Amino acid sequence: MKAFIHHNYGPADVLRLSEVAKPEPAANELQIKVHAFSLNPEEMHMMHGMFAVRPITGFRRPKVLCLKADIAGVVEAIGDAVSDFKIGDKVMGRANKGGQAQFTCVPQDRLVHKPEALSFEQAAALPLAGVTALQAVTKNGNVHKGMRVLINGASGGIGTYAVQLAKHFDGEVTAVCSGKNIDLVTQLGADHAIDYHTGDFTRTRRSNELIIDLVGNRSLSDMRSCLSKNGKCLMVGFSTPASMFRALIGGPLSSNFSTQKVGVMMASFDKADLQTVADLAATGDLEATIDKAYPFEMTPKAMHHLATVRAKGKIVVRLDAGSE
C-alpha cells in the first residue's frame, strides 16, 4: 500500500509517498481502508518535531514514520477482541499512527460508525476538532442558555465547531476572526462577530462569562480584561510554544488570587464524545466546514496549507476509494 512517511523532522517537504506493508490489526483493532482523512495542528507539530513533543516522537528522528490523522473509511479486517464492528462497516475516528495512508489500523475505542448522512470527507473532518470543541463548550465551559461566550479563532477547525455547539446549547456567541470570515461565522450562528484586523475584542465593553481561546496570541491580562467577575478562559490553542508555557504556568497561578479562572484545556479523545459529535452531525445540528479537499498525492501541499493558519474550517485529504 501507499503511505506518506517522514524519516526526518521538518516542513511538509519531508513527507514522501512510499510503498509500505499493509498493517495487520491487533486483537482490539480494526483494519480500515481509508477513504478520507483530515489534518490537525498536532500532526504538523509532530512533523516539525517541536521540542515539546520529541520525548514522545523521538529526539533525533521520528519513531513513528506515518503521522496521525482523523480518518473515515471502511472496515477491511478485525482483530479477535473486536465486538462493536464488522467487516464492511463505514467508520470514522482518530488514527494515532499511520493515518496518512491507504490503510490503517485503529483500536475500536477510537472509532464510531459513520452516519449515512455524512460523506467520508465530512466524517473525516469531525473527530479531533469536533471532540475538542464539544469538551470546551460542555465539560469545561458548561455553556447554558444566555451565557456570554467569546471564541477567539472562530473560523478555524475547532472554532467553526465551537461556534455551532455554543449556539446549540443556547449561548450568546461572539466570534473573533478575520474580516473575510465574518459571513462564515455569522452563518454558523454567531450573534456577534469581531474582525481582529479592525477591532480589539479585549477593549470592548462586553463582559464574557466564557472565553474559548484557540489562538493564544494575547496576554493573560488581556484575556482577563474582557472576562466577567466569575468568568473562565479556556486556552486551547497557541501561537507559539512560549505562549503555551506562559499559559500553563501563569494561568493557574494567577487564578489562585482571582475569581476569574484562566487555564489550559487539553482535550482528551473520548469515544462517547465522538459519538455525540457524530449524532449531532447526522441530524444537521453540527456541520463540517471544509476549506479544501486535496487528492492523496497532494498531502504535502495540504500540510503546507495547514501551516499557513489561514484555513476556514478543516483541511481534508481524499483517497480514490470508491463510492460513498
- Do 182 and 57 reside in the same domain of the chain? no
Q: Is residue 283 part of a domain?
A: no
Q: How far apart are alpha carbons 160 and 151 in whole angstroms?
A: 9
Give residue 313's pLDDT: 96
Q: Where do runs of H (alpha helix) occur along the chain?
A: 41-48, 54-57, 120-124, 127-135, 157-168, 182-187, 220-225, 241-255, 271-282, 299-307
Say how many domains are in the chain. Answer: 2
Q: Is residue 7 part of a domain?
A: yes
- Do 117 and 145 reside in the same domain of the chain? no
Whole-angstrom CA distances from 324 to 111, 123, 295, 321 are 18, 11, 16, 9
Give residue 99's pLDDT: 96
Give the range of the structural domain holding residue 178, as residue numbers without chain letter. 129-264
Q: How far apart are alpha carbons 208 and 148 in whole angstroms?
A: 5
Do 8 and 60 form a contact (C-beta atoms < 8 A)?
A: no
**DSSP string computed for 248-303:** HHHHHHHHTTSSSEEEE------HHHHHHHHHHHHTTSS---EEEEEEGGGHHHHH
pTM of the predicted protein model: 0.93
Do 100 and 40 form a contact (C-beta atoms < 8 A)?
A: no
Q: Is residue 272 part of a domain?
A: no
- Do 259 and 133 reside in the same domain of the chain? yes
Compute the C-alpha angle 313/315/316, nearest 5°. 130
- Do 107 and 181 reside in the same domain of the chain? no
Give residue 25's pLDDT: 97
Report pLDDT digits (tens) over 173-225: 999 999 999 999 999 999 999 999 999 998 877 799 999 999 988 888 888 88
Return the C-alpha cell found at 102.
491507504
Q: Is residue 70 part of a domain?
A: yes
- Do 142 and 259 reside in the same domain of the chain? yes
- Do 259 and 140 reside in the same domain of the chain? yes
Q: Is residue 175 part of a domain?
A: yes
- Do 121 and 136 reside in the same domain of the chain? no
Q: Is residue 278 part of a domain?
A: no
- Positions in the chain short of pLDDT 50: 322-324
- Do 72 and 36 reside in the same domain of the chain? yes
- Do 145 and 215 reside in the same domain of the chain? yes
- Do 136 and 67 reside in the same domain of the chain? no
Domain boundary among 264, 280, 296: 264
Q: How far apart are alpha carbons 227 and 246 in whole angstroms?
A: 19
Give residue 48's pLDDT: 85
- Do 158 and 252 reside in the same domain of the chain? yes
Give residue 244's pLDDT: 67
Return the C-alpha cell found at 252.
493557574
For residue 213, give the CATH number of its domain: 3.40.50.720
Return the C-alpha cell found at 199.
477591532
Number of Cβ within 10 Å of residue 247's Cβ equals: 23
For residue 40, give the CATH number of its domain: 3.90.180.10
Report pLDDT digits (tens) over 219-228: 888 888 899 9
Q: Is residue 33 part of a domain?
A: yes
Q: Which amino acid is at 58?
A: G
Report pLDDT digits (tens) over 277-310: 999 999 999 999 999 999 999 999 999 999 988 8
- Do 43 and 73 reside in the same domain of the chain? yes
Q: Is residue 276 part of a domain?
A: no
